[in-house]
């Protein structure tokens, strides 16, 4: 992945110069186009017609893919195995969910102009302070990025400053998301407790219960994925990206040549958290509910599996992995529910033991393309 | 309810002696017609009438009375369609073995469709208990007399007080005497009599407190005064007891954490292997206990004791399988190990779900482990948790011994400090790895055996403990068994101290956040390993 | 997208390739437009994996059993019934997704499903958007009435309120500890009960204790000892438990070990049924109570037939039946009856036809579908026996009609629900006479104004 | 052998090493000043009130048996380890004990590790680019562009360390000796005022050693160099002043001949030789 020498282009436009990125964007947009055409142009009942349900499904996969890219950025290039990225995803989702709740207005079951239903029947008389402002789209969307970013900033600052790395970091990220899950389950928190936020109606005035909106969200997610991908590519191909790799492989050495390692870690960690938040925000309106189970450690660690399966430190691998696993999940839980957990568990074992470089690694082998980068021989951070 | 009781008692007292007399010389068989009538009187809808009927049975001098009342209490006294009354001997399955209530001769099996139970509610249950207690007051069996005496605390009223005086006088058993005296004193205190108040001073029994509370509002200022001071003293006592109780709760929760974490402290702390399947190894231990109880029906205690070695072995073997099958291929790649073992945990869970059942399994608590050790009327320590606490300490001590005193422990420490060097000194590192991992896993199994006495034995058992146990190990300082012990116990206590005012959820969150922050401050935990070895 | 997926699809999954094409690409289109002889499709939306599988998988079996019985009896409208089973895997967003799959893709005529409130809330918008029929079999917190959902489980006034009435009138309880898991059902139920106890029975503030714990809470020492002290104040005390699933075993264990006995402080539970008990050593529980609309120990032939059928279906002598199963039994028969009445499975027609339909329940009476899409049921109080069964100690003289909107919550006091024409409204406000919204709106506006 | 030629034509080759104006104040006295430094791990004193001063532009060799505290001393200077007591000054202005690794590094102290550590996943070229003295804050790094003079500089160093052919190979595939050179190259890119070189010639061929010697001596004068080395031959070939460490403190100091005749040193070394052979 590492370019031979940093080209003299502007850092953000750099990725467009790479073949890998070009192919990725090509495939992605082709897929978006294909689905859109099959959905709109092909008449109902024709065997090739893609119905709204499927479009919605793919939209969900794409938001997962974006989440996977975010995780790959920190794990693949920074060597930080975060078992808490589900938290950032969920927080982004909640920010969006709060906006959507406010959009319901007085159409809730109790017809209350301000308070969401769950607050009414738990007898809250006024909106908690942190719910204010979420009726404004710009504010809510800002929060989608800022809230996870802020959490990552505080948590990361403490963690990296005191040089908590490797397994320790993984464990406390897990504890972080676990604690947040417990917290959001509490009804006092004012986020709807276990029921979370549901019954969404409109997003920016578009009716969430119409197929057109679903298609729109699907495309929007695709575009977001593309942008996120480009941003990550731009980062990892920049000199900063190489500092990250340097940190991953020899943290102390990187310090001795004068880099404030903890700051670089923090920067990338925050960017990744924001991307995760964005993914969550796109996920929520498509599935129509956000609740604390998104914080569950199981989910966070599953994300890591997507990345591992797709191929660490190759962003497109993360995308492939996310789509593969979730697709398999849809099939399995549909056809043989009991087998699913076996399959998932087996995947964890097989991928880590037999396929450390993931699918992307395989593809690389098959193509026998000699690349300049060698994914870390010891993936241990 | 009181009313029924005293009514019955009054008469009963008169012939109480008679009953016991008969008990000695069980001669004349009373008229079965009368007995049948007594029972038929029970078979009515109104619980009030049932109450009367029970009183009637009490008043009858029938020696089968107690059996009937007991059966009624247990819901085993039932009526057949053809109007006979039977005692159900075992009420499981579709057909139940029964015996005739009057003659006690077995009548074989009957379909539950043909049986109508004589229902009781909690009010009647209370009445029955008191009634039986009164009968037992004259039982030759001391235990029965004592329980009946306990039962009578707060149940006493005017007539009963009178009738009890002589009983107290010639009760040969010390405990019975004091208890009955208290019972009467409670009544007197409630009546606002000085004698009662004085007798109750310093007694921690809740009924006594209530009685004193009433006395404190009595019109007689002297009595009120005395009662108030007595209460104040008692409250003081209660505070202390409450503090002790909380401490005990904390330690027992802590002991669970220690048990869950100590295995990790070995595999993670000493070997540096992240075993996310640790919780599932605990689960296996718990299921082993269940298995054993299935194999030895009717002997839960024996089964439990046997499942200690069994649980250890099962978990250890699975642990070895995991080490050989997966972990050895991931040496020096802790994060991959973490992921792989997590996969294993998923597989184990689902395995249990499909092979055994997704439902929780029933693990019986043996007699000698259920109930609690009564320190005083205000403080009693639950036995099962006390056993777990003791067990945790024993396991810990054993591990310390193994690590400090045995060849294995020495080799383990050697290998962990410098693998190559240890090898060159002829230590078979792979063997040591296997042994260590087996040991850690086995301990997880033991934890499972203990947990089966406290919580659900189900497929999710492991998940509920894995994060906590990692927290304990990290908090205590990796590679340090003492650290794990201290961390576990202190976290347990902190949690229990917080819980009353923060609530269970918040307490847990606070503890988690506290640990997270603590790790930021001291990345190496409470008892860090120092030196260059730790730098790497 | 699909082509790309098929290319990268692992070999092991290839046998599902066809399934995939159907599932992913063709969607509804491949399903032939239902002819008269085509089977009637019954969707079953219960978790078969994950944490909820414990409770929900038996409900799936129940519906399958009912369908088979119906088919043996000649089906409906001369057409056979076909079960379409999907697994939402205890994952709430997945519930919505699966519901969409059932309605948009499989085009089922009716859905029986859901257990937790959150899963129902997740499914609700989908069912309403695609105009499906959902029968929800579990007791719940109420405060909801959807045009497309039929609530065959108990509303709070069909379980909680009568239970408390029983405690007060029959047992003479004066102090109440409301202990629950921290989610919507206990929160709402306890709020209703608090209001009810204070307003209707003048119970004082200090005689009510409320406590919430997280899911799967396992360390009950503190809370139980709190309860013990709460009960030592001289007044008869009871615990009203809305503790959910797994947390119950350690709770009852701790009760027993701390020597709290049903006769001293009875616990009445709203979420502990025969199935939950099958995982507990019931000896120490004897005498504790539960309030349901059905118990396996109900002494009627209809019930014994149902139990025998169930035992034969599962092939497990120990198999137990419970309240949600009866709810499905009632719901299924109501739906079948309505279809017969309407002569079609068309959703809108069935929706209208089913209101007023009356079918026998298993406790010897009849249940009717009310205009608010809730049903009438008797309320039973049972005492736990040492054989894991309940002994019915009390029951309401007549059936109780489910109440969508509680009379004891300020927000919903003024709301009623009636899906008959002309009202056709789930939350009609009797005060301002408009559909949708309560006076809580104005109250809040006032609150904000301050 | 392009290097040897280049070494002959000094004026051209080594101009890229000309040190930039640095904040370090050496007007009065030494560039590095360690006083009464002590470090103890769990009671064991790895460094035992060590006193050491390095003059500006000096080339100093430090020898001593295993466990003498050589590496620990470097850890202290570079901020990896904090001494239990004592003071360490860089020039007369900077108290190193109050700085962390990156600050110390950017102040102009470069270090080459005993076990060569290069960034194996990165190409040789990238390794050098990262090491290069530049603005190492986040955003400058993110937006950094490759300019001709930068690549020229890197090319020069590549030539000096003889890795031009392998410039785009990942450092992971280099031989041990090559890694040693790459690391030296990274030091050169850093343009430090003070180089700490830990066993530079371990695993090197005679020729390579020779080149290293040339390079280090060539550096001395412009930059101060501290070399820790076991290989006595090599030390002799470059040493002007030698310090012998033993059990964490200075045993002897002086010219190679002085120290090698010092009885204490001999005694220590004979002892330690046996240990090493064991």
Strand, coil or helix: what is B7? helix
Say if CB C268 and CB C210 are below 8 A apart: no
Q: Determine the distance from the C-alpha atom of residue C211 to the mean position of all C-alpha atoms in its chain, rounded to a whole number.
A: 23
The ipTM estimated for the assembled molecules is 0.81
Q: How are beta strands C289-292 and C380-384 bridged, if at all? A: antiparallel
Dist. CA C97–CA A54, nearest whole Å: 10
Residue C116 has pLDDT above 70, yes or no: yes
Residue D2 has pLDDT above 60, yes or no: no
DSSP string, B90-110: ---SSEEEEEETTT--EEEEE
Q: pLDDT per residue over A190-219, tens digit each? A: 888 888 888 888 788 787 778 888 888 999
Q: pLDDT per residue over C222-274, tens digit each? A: 899 889 889 888 788 999 999 887 788 888 888 888 888 887 889 999 988 88
CA distances from B326 to A329, B424, B466, B514 (A): 24, 25, 20, 34
Question: Would you tell me how many other CB atoms lie within 10 Å of the CB of residue B381?
Answer: 18
Q: Which tokens hold the place of D50?
A: 């060590």
Confidence of residue D170 (pLDDT cuts 50, 70, 90): confident
Q: Is A309 on the interface with B (CB under 8 A)?
A: no
What percent of chain B is modeled with pLDDT above 70? 91
The whole-number pLDDT of residue C333 equals 92
Largest CA distance in chain C: 74
Confidence of residue B536 (pLDDT cuts 50, 70, 90): very low
B460 to C246: CB separation less than 8 angstroms, yes or no: yes
Dist. CA C321–CA C307, nearest whole Å: 7
- Give the residue with greater pLDDT, B157 vs B463: B463
Tell me how many domains chain B contains.
1
On whether residue B431 sits in a domain, the answer given is yes
Mean pLDDT for chain D overall: 76
**Residue C4: half-sphere exposure toward Cβ, Cα within 13 Å:** 18
Strand positions, DSSP E, B165-236:
none
Confidence of residue C309 (pLDDT cuts 50, 70, 90): very high
Residue among B103, B133, B124, B115 nearest B50 (CA): B124
DSSP type of residue A107: G
Confidence of residue B7 (pLDDT cuts 50, 70, 90): very low
Residue D7 has pLDDT above 50, yes or no: no
Q: How are beta strands C425-429 and C434-435 bridged, if at all? A: antiparallel
The whole-number pLDDT of residue B229 equals 83
Q: Write down the residue that tokens 């919580």 correspond to.
A: B455
The whole-number pLDDT of residue C239 equals 93
On whether residue B42 sits in a domain, the answer given is no
Q: Which residues contact C50 (CB under 8 A, 6 or more apart)?
A: C89, C90, C91
Q: Which residues contact B78 (CB under 8 A, 6 or more apart)?
A: B85, B86, B87, B88, B98, B115, B116, B117, B118
Q: pLDDT per residue over B181-196, tens digit each? A: 888 888 777 777 777 7
Q: Which residues contact D145 (CB under 8 A, 6 or more apart)?
A: A6, A7, A8, A9, A11
B347 to A338: CB separation less than 8 angstroms, yes or no: no
Q: Which chain C residues are closer than 8 Å to B499 by Cβ? A: 222-223
The whole-number pLDDT of residue B267 equals 86
B360 to C54: CB separation less than 8 angstroms, yes or no: yes
Q: pLDDT per residue over C400-435, tens digit each? A: 888 888 888 777 777 888 888 777 787 887 777 777
What percent of chain B is modeled with pLDDT above 90? 16
| Topology of the domain covering C160-269 | Rossmann fold (3.40.50)
Work out the average pLDDT over B352-371: 82
The whole-number pLDDT of residue B29 equals 54
Length of chain B: 536
The whole-number pLDDT of residue C25 equals 40
- Give the residue with greater pLDDT, D275 vs C274: C274
Q: How are beta strands D194-198 and D109-112 bridged, if at all? A: parallel
DSSP type of residue C173: -
In this structure, the dihedral spanned by the alpha carbons of residues B323, B303, C281 and C385, taken in order and rounded to 10 degrees, is 160
C447 to A54: CB separation less than 8 angstroms, yes or no: no
On whether residue B130 sits in a domain, the answer given is no
Dist. CA B476–CA B515, nearest whole Å: 10
Number of DSSP helices (H) and strands (E) in chain A, helices first: 14, 2
Dist. CA A79–CA B334, nearest whole Å: 12
The whole-number pLDDT of residue B198 equals 75
Q: Where are the domains of chain A?
A: 14-367
On whether residue B221 sits in a domain, the answer given is no
Query: Exposed (0-12), middle (13-18) or buried (19+): which is C194, by Cβ within 10 Å?
Result: middle
Work out the average pLDDT over D163-190: 80
Length of chain C: 450
CA distance D149 to chain A (A): 12
Residue D4 has pLDDT above 70, yes or no: no
DSSP type of residue C369: B
Mean pLDDT for chain C overall: 82
Query: Which chain D residues touch A if contact means CB-CB below 8 Å?
Result: 78, 80, 100-102, 105-106, 110-111, 113, 117-123, 125-126, 129-131, 133, 136-138, 141-147, 151, 168, 170, 172, 186, 190
Confidence of residue C14 (pLDDT cuts 50, 70, 90): very low
Residue C325 has pLDDT above 90, yes or no: yes
A341 to B334: CB separation less than 8 angstroms, yes or no: no
- Give the residue with greater pLDDT, D34 vs A87: A87
The whole-number pLDDT of residue D9 equals 43
What percent of chain C is modeled with pLDDT above 70? 88
The whole-number pLDDT of residue D94 equals 78
User: What residues 83-142 of chain D have any CB closer than 8 A to a CB of chain B?
Assistant: none
DSSP type of residue B57: H
DSSP string, B224-271: HHHHHHHHHHHHHHHHHHHHHHHHHHHHHHHHHHHHHHHHHIIIIIIT
Residue among A275, A272, A224, A280 nearest A99 (CA): A280
Strand, coil or helix: what is C115? coil
D42 to B530: CB separation less than 8 angstroms, yes or no: yes
Dist. CA C157–CA C145, nearest whole Å: 15
What percent of chain C is modeled with pLDDT above 90? 25
| Probe site for chain A from B276, B463, B519, B522 (most A CB atoms < 10 A) | B519
Dist. CA B424–CA B68, nearest whole Å: 78
Mean pLDDT for chain B overall: 80
Least CB–CB distance from A115: residue in C144, C415, C444? C444
CA distance B74 to chain C (A): 8
Q: pLDDT per residue over B492-520, tens digit each? A: 999 888 888 888 888 888 888 888 888 87
On whether residue B139 sits in a domain, the answer given is no
The whole-number pLDDT of residue C263 equals 79
Lowest mean pLDDT among B76-80, B102-106, B154-158: B154-158
A4 to D125: CB separation less than 8 angstroms, yes or no: yes
Whether the predicted model's global pTM rises above the 0.90 cut:
no
**Least CA distance to C267: which residue of chain B?**
B122
Whether chain D lies against chain C with 3 or more Cβ pairs closer than 8 A is: no
DSSP string, B336-383: HHHHHHHHHHHHHHHHHHHHT-SSPBP-PPPGGGSSEEEEETTEEEEH
Residue D214 has pLDDT above 90, yes or no: no
On whether residue B338 sits in a domain, the answer given is yes
Residue C22 has pLDDT above 90, yes or no: no
Dist. CA B461–CA B290, nearest whole Å: 13
The whole-number pLDDT of residue B181 equals 80
Dist. CA A230–CA C342, nearest whole Å: 58
Q: pLDDT per residue over B313-344, tens digit each? A: 999 999 999 999 888 888 878 888 888 999 99
- Direct distance between the N- and C-terminal alpha carbons of chain B, in angstroms, rounded to an integer: 75
CA distance D39 to chain A (A): 20
Q: Write down the residue that tokens 């006594």 correspond to.
A: B208
Dist. CA D73–CA D83, nearest whole Å: 9
Q: Is A104 on the interface with C (CB under 8 A)?
A: no
**3-state helix vs strand vs coil in chain D, percent to 5:** 45, 25, 30
**Residue B335: half-sphere exposure toward Cβ, Cα within 13 Å:** 23
CA distance C195 to chain B (A): 23
Residue among A337, A313, A308 nearest A325 (CA): A308
On whether residue B84 sits in a domain, the answer given is no
Q: Where are the domains of chain C?
A: 160-269, 415-449
Q: Which residues contact B56 (CB under 8 A, 6 or more apart)?
A: B38, B41
Query: Exposed (0-12), middle (13-18) or buried (19+): which is C214, by Cβ within 10 Å?
Result: buried
Angle, vertex CA C230, rays to CA C229 and CA C234, nearest 5: 90
Bridge partners, C267 (sequence order): C239
**Residue C227: half-sphere exposure toward Cβ, Cα within 13 Å:** 31
Residue D3 has pLDDT above 70, yes or no: no
Dist. CA D181–CA C60, nearest whole Å: 70
Q: Which tokens hold the place of D145?
A: 């562009």
Q: Which tokens hold the place of B468?
A: 């906590």
For residue B345, the enclosing domain spans 244-535
The whole-number pLDDT of residue B254 equals 92
Q: Which tokens hold the place of A194?
A: 């276990």
Residue among C68, C65, C96 nearest C81 (CA): C68
Residue B22 has pLDDT above 70, yes or no: no
The whole-number pLDDT of residue A220 equals 92
pLDDT by residue for chain A (381 residues), tens only, comes to 444 444 556 777 777 777 778 788 888 888 888 888 887 877 777 777 777 788 888 999 999 999 999 999 999 888 888 888 999 999 999 999 999 888 887 777 777 777 887 887 777 778 888 888 888 889 989 999 999 999 999 998 888 888 887 788 888 898 889 989 988 888 888 888 888 888 888 788 787 778 888 888 999 999 999 999 989 988 888 888 888 888 888 887 888 887 888 888 899 999 999 999 999 999 999 988 898 988 988 899 889 989 988 888 888 888 989 998 888 888 887 777 778 888 888 888 888 888 888 788 788 777 655 544 444 444 333
Q: Which domains are assigned to chain D?
A: 17-277 (3.40.50.300)
Residue D201 has pLDDT above 90, yes or no: no
Residue B282 has pLDDT above 90, yes or no: yes
Q: Which tokens hold the place of D130?
A: 């990262």
Burial B204-221 (b: 16+ CB within 10 A, else e): ebbbbbbbbbebbebeee
The whole-number pLDDT of residue B394 equals 94
The whole-number pLDDT of residue C240 equals 93
Burial C230-253 (b: 16+ CB within 10 A, else e): bbbebebbbbbbbbbbbbbbbbbb
Strand, coil or helix: what is C240? strand
Dist. CA C274–CA C283, nearest whole Å: 14
Dist. CA B168–CA B161, nearest whole Å: 10
Q: CATH number, domain at B450? A: 1.10.3470
CA distance B354 to chain A (A): 8
Cis before C422 (ω within 30): yes
Helices B278-295/B300-325 angle, 10° precision: 140
B532 to D46: CB separation less than 8 angstroms, yes or no: yes
- Give the residue with greater pLDDT, C32 vs D177: D177
Q: Which chain B residues are closer than 8 Å to D41 by Cβ? A: 530-532
Residue among C418, C347, C420 nearest C130 (CA): C347
In this structure, the dihedral spanned by the alpha carbons of residues A268, A274, A276 and A282, taken in order and rounded to 10 degrees, is -150
User: E strand or H helix at D94, and its extent?
Assistant: strand D94-95
Residue C29 has pLDDT above 60, yes or no: no
Helices B122-136/B47-59 angle, 10° precision: 10
Say if CB C221 and CB B382 are below 8 A apart: yes
Q: pLDDT per residue over B44-70, tens digit each? A: 777 778 888 888 887 777 777 777 888
Q: Which chain A residues are closer than 8 Å to B335 by Cβ? A: 81, 166-167, 170, 379-381
């Amino acid at each position: 992945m590492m370019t031979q020498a940093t080209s003299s282009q502007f850092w953000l436009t750099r990725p467009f110069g790479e073949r890998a990125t070009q192919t990725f964007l090509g495939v992605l947009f082709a897929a978006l186009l294909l689905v859109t055409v099959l959905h709109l142009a092909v008449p109902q009942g024709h065997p090739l017609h893609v119905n709204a349900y499927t479009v919605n499904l793919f939209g969900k996969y794409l938001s997962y893919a974006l989440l996977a890219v975010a995780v790959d950025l920190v794990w693949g290039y920074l060597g930080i195995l975060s078992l808490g990225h589900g938290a950032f995803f969920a927080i982004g989702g909640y920010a969006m969910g709060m906006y959507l709740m406010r959009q319901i207005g007085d159409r809730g079951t109790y017809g209350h102009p301000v308070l969401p239903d769950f607050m009414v029947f738990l007898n809250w008389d006024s909106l908690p302070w942190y719910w204010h402002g979420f009726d404004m789209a710009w504010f809510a969307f800002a929060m989608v990025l800022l809230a996870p970013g802020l959490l990552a900033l505080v948590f990361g600052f403490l963690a990296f400053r005191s040089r908590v790395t490797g397994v320790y970091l993984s464990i406390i990220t897990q504890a972080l998301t676990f604690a947040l899950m417990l917290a959001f389950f509490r009804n006092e928190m004012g986020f709807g407790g276990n029921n979370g936020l549901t019954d969404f109606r409109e997003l920016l005035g578009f009716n969430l219960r119409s197929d057109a909106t679903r298609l729109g969200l699907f495309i929007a997610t695709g575009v977001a994925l593309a942008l996120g991908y480009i941003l990550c590519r731009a980062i990892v191909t920049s000199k900063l990206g190489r500092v990250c790799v340097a940190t991953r492989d020899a943290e102390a050495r990187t310090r001795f040549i004068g880099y404030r390692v903890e700051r670089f870690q923090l920067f990338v960690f925050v960017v990744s958290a924001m991307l995760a938040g964005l993914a969550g925000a796109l996920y929520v309106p498509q599935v129509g509910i956000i609740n604390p189970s998104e914080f569950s450690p199981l989910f966070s660690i599953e994300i890591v599996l997507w990345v591992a399966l797709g191929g660490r430190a190759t962003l497109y691998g993360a995308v492939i992995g996310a789509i593969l696993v979730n697709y398999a999940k849809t099939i399995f839980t549909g056809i043989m529910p009991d087998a699913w957990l076996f399959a998932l568990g087996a995947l964890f074992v097989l991928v880590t033991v037999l396929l450390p470089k993931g699918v992307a690694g395989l593809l690389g082998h098959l193509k026998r393309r000699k690349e300049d980068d060698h994914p870390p021989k010891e993936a241990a951070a | 309810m009181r009313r029924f009781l005293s009514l019955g008692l009054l008469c009963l007292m008169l012939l109480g002696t008679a009953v016991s007399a008969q008990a000695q010389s069980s001669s004349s068989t009373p008229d079965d017609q009368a007995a049948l009538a007594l029972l038929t009187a029970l078979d009515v809808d109104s619980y009030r009438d049932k109450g009367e009927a029970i009183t009637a049975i009490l008043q009858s001098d029938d020696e089968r009375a107690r059996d009937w009342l007991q059966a009624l209490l247990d819901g085993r006294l039932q009526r057949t369609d053809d109007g006979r009354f039977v005692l159900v001997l075992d009420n499981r399955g579709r057909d139940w073995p029964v015996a005739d209530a009057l003659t006690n001769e077995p009548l074989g099996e009957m379909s539950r469709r043909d049986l109508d139970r004589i229902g009781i509610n909690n009010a009647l249950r209370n009445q029955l208990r008191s009634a039986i207690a009164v009968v037992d007051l004259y039982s030759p069996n001391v235990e029965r007399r004592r329980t009946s005496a306990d039962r009578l605390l707060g149940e006493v009223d005017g007539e009963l007080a009178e009738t009890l005086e002589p009983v107290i006088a010639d009760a040969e058993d010390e405990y019975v005497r004091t208890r009955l005296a208290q019972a009467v004193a409670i009544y007197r205190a409630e009546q606002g009599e000085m004698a009662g108040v004085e007798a109750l001073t310093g007694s921690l029994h809740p009924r006594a407190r209530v009685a004193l509370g009433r006395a404190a509002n009595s019109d007689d200022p002297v009595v009120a005064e005395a009662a108030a001071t007595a209460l104040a003293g008692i409250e003081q006592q209660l505070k202390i007891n409450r503090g002790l109780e909380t401490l005990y709760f904390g330690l027992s929760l802590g002991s669970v954490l220690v048990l869950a974490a100590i295995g990790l402290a070995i595999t993670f702390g000493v070997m540096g292997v992240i075993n996310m399947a640790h919780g599932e190894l605990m689960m296996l231990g718990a299921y082993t206990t269940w298995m054993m109880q299935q194999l030895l029906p009717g002997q839960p205690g024996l089964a439990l004791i046997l499942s200690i070695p069994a649980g250890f072995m099962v978990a250890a073997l699975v642990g070895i399988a995991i080490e050989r099958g997966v972990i050895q291929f991931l040496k020096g790649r802790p994060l991959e190990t973490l992921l792989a073992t997590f996969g294993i945990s998923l597989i184990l869970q689902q395995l249990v779900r499909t092979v055994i059942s997704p439902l929780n399994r029933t693990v019986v608590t043996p007699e000698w482990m259920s109930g609690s050790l009564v320190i005083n009327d205000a403080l009693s320590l639950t036995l099962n948790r006390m056993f777990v606490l003791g067990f945790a300490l024993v396991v810990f001590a054993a591990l310390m011994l193994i690590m400090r005193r045995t060849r294995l422990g020495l080799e383990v420490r050697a290998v962990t400090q410098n693998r190559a060097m240890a090898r060159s000194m002829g230590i078979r590192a792979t063997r040591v790895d296997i042994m260590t991992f087996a040991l850690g896993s086995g301990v997880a199994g033991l934890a499972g055996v203990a947990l089966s006495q406290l919580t659900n034995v189900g497929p999710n058992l492991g998940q509920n403990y894995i994060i906590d146990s990692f927290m304990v190990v990290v908090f205590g300082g990796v590679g340090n068994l003492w650290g794990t012990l201290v961390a576990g116990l202190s976290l347990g206590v902190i949690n229990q101290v917080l819980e009353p005012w923060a609530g269970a959820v918040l307490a847990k969150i606070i503890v988690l956040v506290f640990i997270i922050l603590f790790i930021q401050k001291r990345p190496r935990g409470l008892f860090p390993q120092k030196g260059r070895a730790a730098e790497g | 997208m699909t082509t790309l997926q098929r290319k990268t699809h692992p070999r092991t999954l290839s046998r599902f390739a066809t399934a995939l094409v159907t599932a992913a690409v063709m969607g509804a289109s491949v399903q032939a437009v239902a002819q008269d002889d085509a089977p009637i499709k019954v969707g079953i939306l219960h978790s078969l994996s994950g944490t909820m599988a414990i409770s929900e998988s038996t409900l799936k079996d129940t519906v399958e059993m009912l369908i088979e019985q119906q088919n043996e009896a000649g089906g409906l409208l001369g057409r056979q019934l076909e079960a379409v089973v999907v697994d939402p895997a205890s994952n709430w967003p997945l519930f919505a997704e699966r519901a969409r799959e059932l309605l948009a893709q499989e085009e089922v005529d009716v859905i029986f499903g859901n257990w937790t409130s959150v899963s129902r809330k997740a499914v609700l918008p989908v069912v309403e958007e695609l105009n499906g029929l959902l029968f929800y079999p579990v007791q719940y917190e109420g405060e909801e009435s959807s045009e497309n959902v039929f609530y065959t489980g108990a509303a709070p006034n069909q379980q909680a309120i009568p239970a408390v009435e029983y405690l007060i009138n029959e047992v003479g309880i004066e102090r109440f500890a409301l202990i629950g898991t921290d989610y919507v059902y206990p929160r709402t139920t306890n709020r209703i009960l608090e209001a009810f106890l204070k307003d209707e029975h003048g119970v004082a503030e200090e005689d009510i204790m409320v406590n919430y714990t997280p899911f799967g809470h396992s360390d009950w020492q503190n809370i139980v000892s709190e309860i013990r002290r709460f009960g030592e104040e001289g007044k008869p005390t009871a615990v009203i438990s809305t503790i959910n699933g797994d947390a119950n075993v350690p709770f009852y264990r701790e009760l027993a070990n701390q020597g709290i006995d049903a006769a001293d402080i009875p616990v009445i539970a709203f979420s502990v049924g025969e199935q939950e008990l099958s995982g507990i050593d019931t000896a120490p529980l004897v005498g504790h109570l539960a309030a349901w609309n059905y118990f396996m120990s109900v002494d009627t032939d209809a019930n014994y037939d149902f139990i025998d059928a169930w035992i034969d279906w599962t092939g497990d002598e120990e198999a137990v039946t419970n309240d949600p199963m009866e709810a499905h039994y009632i719901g299924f028969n109501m739906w079948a009856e309505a279809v017969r009445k309407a002569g079609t499975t068309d959703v809108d027609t069935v929706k209208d036809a089913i209101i007023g339909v009356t079918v026998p329940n298993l406790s010897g009476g009849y249940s009717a579908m009310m205009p608010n899409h809730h049903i009438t049921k008797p309320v039973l109080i049972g005492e736990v026996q040492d054989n894991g069964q309940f002994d019915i100690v009390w029951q309401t003289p007549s059936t109780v009609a489910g109440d969508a909107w509680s009379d004891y919550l300020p927000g919903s006091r003024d709301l009623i629900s009636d899906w008959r024409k002309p009202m056709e409204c789930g939350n009609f406000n009797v005060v301002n006479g408009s559909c949708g919204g309560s006076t809580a709106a104005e109250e809040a506006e006032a609150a904000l104004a301050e | 052998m392009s290097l040897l030629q280049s070494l002959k034509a000094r004026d051209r080759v080594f101009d890229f090493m000309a040190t930039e104006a640095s904040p370090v104040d050496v007007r009065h006295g030494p560039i590095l000043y360690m006083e009464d430094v002590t470090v103890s791990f769990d009671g064991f004193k790895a460094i035992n009130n060590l006193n050491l001063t390095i003059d500006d532009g000096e080339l100093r060799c430090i020898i001593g048996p295993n466990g003498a505290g050589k590496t620990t001393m470097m850890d202290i200077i570079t901020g990896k380890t904090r001494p239990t007591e004592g003071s360490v000054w860089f020039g007369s202005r900077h108290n190193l004990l109050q700085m962390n690794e990156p600050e110390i590094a950017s102040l102009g102290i470069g270090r080459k590790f005993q076990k060569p550590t290069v960034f194996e996943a990165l190409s040789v070229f990238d390794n050098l680019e990262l090491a290069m003295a530049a603005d190492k804050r986040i955003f400058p790094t993110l937006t950094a562009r490759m300019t001709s003079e930068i690549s020229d500089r890197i090319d020069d160093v590549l030539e000096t360390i003889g890795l031009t052919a392998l410039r785009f190979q990942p450092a992971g595939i280099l031989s041990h000796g090559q890694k040693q050179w790459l690391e030296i190259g990274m030091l050169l890119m850093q343009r430090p005022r003070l180089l700490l070189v830990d066993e530079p010639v371990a695993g090197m061929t005679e020729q390579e050693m020779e080149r290293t010697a040339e390079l280090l001596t060539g550096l001395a004068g412009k930059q101060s160099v501290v070399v820790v080395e076991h290989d006595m031959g090599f030390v002799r070939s470059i040493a002007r002043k030698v310090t012998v460490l033993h059990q964490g403190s200075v045993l002897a100091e002086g010219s190679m001949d002085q120290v090698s005749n010092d009885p204490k040193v001999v005694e220590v070394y004979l002892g330690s030789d046996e240990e090493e052979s064991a």
